[in-house]
Structure 1
Amino acid sequence: MFVNSVLTTGISQACLADVPQLNALVNTAYRGPASKKGWTTEADLLDGLRIDEATLTAYIEDANSFILKYTNHAGGITACVYLNVSSNKLYIGMLTVNPALQNTGIGKLLLTAAENLARQKHCHTLWMTVITIRHELIAYYERKGFVVTGEKRPFPTETKFGIPKQPLELLVMEKAVI
């Protein structure tokens, strides 16, 4: 179990009861018309869902994975991030902030919480993949200390993560944990 003492105020570990709210948040933030209110939308690149409840449930039940959630004062989940520990590396994925709350610092808080978890789990590197044509997102992560490794990976062919509207590939980025 993740020790909540290393988390920033408003951030805690998600549980199975959070799955429906997380599913709605992630899909609204990444796909469809509502996602276009924020700058992290993938609606012009991908159709379909970004995530489903079965995948979220599997993430929460995996002993090496964590979903951290940011909850507002009313108890609503307004942001989240998926983390997976493997060896001495921590994978960061699905960093999501409600489109209406983007550019308010919540994403930065979740990245800080991810670094804290990495330290707790003795991980020396944070890593992620970003769609190569998402230049503004790559620049955001570079400002947060991530570097482009030069490694590229194919976009998943499983449609459970979306249906590409054009050929896509993923760029690997890393950040050393100090």
Structure 2
Amino acid sequence: MAGRSMRFDPIAEARQNWADAGWGDVADGMVAVTSIMRAHQILLARVEGALRPYDLSFSRFELLRLLAFSRQGALPITKASDRLQVHVTSVTHAIRRLEEANLVRRVPHPTDGRTTLVEITDLGRSTVEDATATLNAEVFGAVGMTDDEMGSMVKAIQSLRHNAGDF
């Protein structure tokens, strides 16, 4: 149960159950996948809690942060989709929600009439700066792992991503 410490590791118990069921040859893979999924749940809950005061989801935060990092403060919607590694439909949905909050706006491309840009507003820029400071303090600066552990984890996940064709 979330928020309550258990006296045992349920994933370790699942591994034993997998082995007892005759699936010991894939038990480590099940543990790896289950561990990553549980870590994702834990981190997502922390991120969502930190972003709640800004009325942002992590996907909307990522889009705002990407726009704030871009030189012009604007990107073609398709480029934002590529950079965030999500379908253009997801980016369009995030843009719509951010537009409703006056954090971004859609503008025509100055030289390509077929392309629409998404542009961060001044309110969007100040919101993402504040949200970034909160995430840095409450989540990114206090992950709950040592620097060596984080480095090893990133390296391992990078291998998984590379083998999946992510880059």
TM-score over 0.5 (shorter chain): no
- From the CA coordinates, give the structure whose radius of gyration is larger: 2
| Structure showing greater relative contact order (alpha-carbon pairs closer than 8 Å, 6 or more residues apart) | 1
Q: Which has the higher strand share?
A: 1
Superposition TM-score, scaled by structure 2 size: 0.25
